[in-house]
Amino acid sequence: MTETRKFDVVISGGRLIDGTGAPGRNMDVAISGDRIAAVAAPEDASDWRGNLNIDASDRVLAPGFIDVHTHDDNAVLATPAMPAKISQGVTTVVVGNCGISLAPITDIDPPPPLNLLGGRDRFRFDTMVDYVAAVEDTRPAVNVAILVGHGTLRVGAMDDLNQVASEAEIQVMGGKLAASLAAGAIGMSTGLYYKTSKAASTDEVIALAKVVSAAGGVYTTHMRDEADHIITSLRETQTTADKAGVPVVISHHKCSQPDNWGRSEETLAFIENARQSTTMGLDAYPYAAGSTVLDPDWVNDRIRIMITTSEPYPEASGRDLADIAAEWDLDLKAAAVKLTPAGAIYFQIDEMDMQRILAYPPTMIGSDGLPHDKHPHPRLWGTFPRVLGHYCRDLGLFDLETAVHKMTGLPAETFGLKDRGVVREGAHADLVVFDADKIRDLATYEQPMRQSLGIDYVLVNGTLSLTLGNLCPDRAGQVVGRH
């Protein structure tokens, strides 16, 4: 009689796509505690026994997906089960993007876009130490990697946001940034497009990016301009990264507004060239529309705009701004003024640009989902299955190994998330089992909160978190630092 090897979990019969981009192979995976204990061909794993045994026959087994671009700072505390993410196979979220982080700041009436994270009562963490402790106490279902928002630092340190930060203000921001990085944040984000941060000079950002560099962190940016002046913004991004000596990630890369449709050829050529000398990455979501706060200054009649949320008019959520304006007998701008504070979906991207950017090998996947909107952009619930189903399987933009790499190994490497994003012995047991034939996003602009199909099992740090499409009660997310 042969001896058996005991594990907590054994996943057998699946096709392993390990996150590195390597071809899928039939391999079994065993877990002990929160780590992957063994990976072996089925014939070498016949003596494995798990307390829990998962049959992954006819399924793909992959590392849990890493959502590199989120605004889940408050969501991981307020809705720790994180159904929108776990149901897609996401096991790690990077929070604090676009210059917006929940910490370190208290006692503010959050100006847009900080209000994307919630109202005054949500901003209650004076230090990153406090925020990290709150996440650890809450133990959300997903792992959390934290960026410090430059916009948050500015709101906390500056009297007049319409100015370049003074030397003294840069000192204050730099001090808070350094302390946040020491407390476990992995880097800094900017949102130079937004009114909280527009006035910041490149030098102001470089000064802070140097603090990130000293801590070995990463810099992500929602650039100053994603429309007519996108190349100037790309240049600024490269200059910042070079002068500060920091790796940079261009957030939700797109060519915004009809005049710029088709320009992704130009922007990707710029990025490709920049990557010769600069550590530069990028992320994108698989939709031809963006979403953020509604700002009357951004409204025009060339693109469709849909309201996602409105404080004074909650019933406007899910309706087109043009229809509301017609009903109120107002022009678009005046209607937008009436609706604010509000959020909106802007149909400002060309599908072919988006596909070209998605297919570009260095592009990672980030949902940019906005979890507090009443009628959110469907990317919140659909991003990852949409890439794997619609764009990979149905349209053949890339093979499955590449698709998985864009949402696992590549982001782990880019953000320095040690032992994540790959399936190998010793790595954290963040895993997803899905049906490559059935995986499909169901969330639409009209019905944005529909759960995707085809995700069978999700494990976070060895804990079963989704089974046959249903959330499990145990939550095992950790705060994830840079190695």
Binding site for Zn ion (CB under 5 A): 98, 222
Q: State which H helix or E strand residue 61 sits in.
A: strand 60-63
Instruction: Give Cβ neighbours of residue 96 (< 8 Å, ≥ 6 apart).
Output: 73, 102, 146, 147, 148, 149, 185, 189
Looking only at the bridges linking them, the beta strands covering 248-250 and 218-222 are parallel
Of Zn ion, Cu ion, none, which one does residue 143 interact with (CB within 5 to 8 Å by kind)?
A: none
Q: Which residue is nearest to Cu ion (CB)?
A: 98
283 touches Cu ion by CB under 5 A: no
The number of angstroms, rounded, from the C-alpha of 120 to the middle of its chain's C-alpha atoms is 23
28 touches Cu ion by CB under 5 A: no
By three-state DSSP, how is residue 182 classified?
Answer: helix
Of Zn ion, Cu ion, none, which one does residue 189 interact with (CB within 5 to 8 Å by kind)?
A: none
Other beta carbons within 10 angstroms of residue 80's beta carbon come to 15
Provide the minimum distance between the beta carbon of 252 and Zn ion in the complex, in angstroms, as a whole number: 6
In terms of CB distance, is 146 or 423 closer to Cu ion? 146
Contacts with Cu ion by CB under 5 A: the residue count is: 3
67 touches Cu ion by CB under 5 A: no
Angle, vertex CA 460, rays to CA 457 and CA 462, nearest 5: 90
In terms of CB distance, is 98 or 117 closer to Zn ion? 98
Query: How far apart (Å, rounded) are the C-alpha atoms in residues 80 and 84?
Result: 11
Provide the minimum distance between the beta carbon of 191 and Zn ion in the complex, in angstroms, as a whole number: 6
Binding mask 339-378 for Cu ion (x = CB under 5 A): -----------------------------x----------
Q: Which residues are bridge partners to 28 per DSSP?
A: 40
Q: Residues 97, 152, 189, 317: which binds Cu ion (CB under 5 A)?
A: 97
Query: How far apart (Å, rounded) are the C-alpha atoms in residues 166 and 248?
Result: 24
**Cα–Cα nearest to 439, from 373, 407, 393, 381:** 393
Question: Tokens 């996003």 appear where?
Answer: 441
98 touches Cu ion by CB under 5 A: yes
Of Cu ion, Zn ion, none, which one does residue 480 interact with (CB within 5 to 8 Å by kind)?
A: none
75 touches Cu ion by CB under 5 A: no
Provide the minimum distance between the beta carbon of 408 and Zn ion in the complex, in angstroms, as a whole number: 22
In terms of CB distance, is 249 or 476 closer to Zn ion? 249
Query: How far apart (Å, rounded) are the C-alpha atoms in residues 192 and 165?
Result: 13
413 touches Cu ion by CB under 5 A: no
Of Zn ion, Cu ion, none, which one does residue 254 interact with (CB within 5 to 8 Å by kind)?
A: none
Provide the minimum distance between the beta carbon of 98 and Cu ion in the complex, in angstroms, as a whole number: 4
Among the candidate windows 9-17, 41-49, 92-100, 178-186, which touches Cu ion by CB under 5 A? 92-100
Sheet holding 60-63, edge to edge: 25-26, 15-16, 60-63, 431-434, 455-460, 463-467, 470-471
Handedness of CA 275, 278, 279, 280 (dihedral sign): negative
Provide the minimum distance between the beta carbon of 67 and Cu ion in the complex, in angstroms, as a whole number: 11
Of Zn ion, Cu ion, none, which one does residue 196 interact with (CB within 5 to 8 Å by kind)?
A: none
In terms of CB distance, is 70 or 180 closer to Zn ion? 70
Which tokens in the block code for residue 90?
């996401």
Provide the minimum distance between the beta carbon of 162 and Cu ion in the complex, in angstroms, as a whole number: 22
94 touches Cu ion by CB under 5 A: no
Q: Which residues bind Cu ion (CB under 5 A)?
A: 97-98, 368
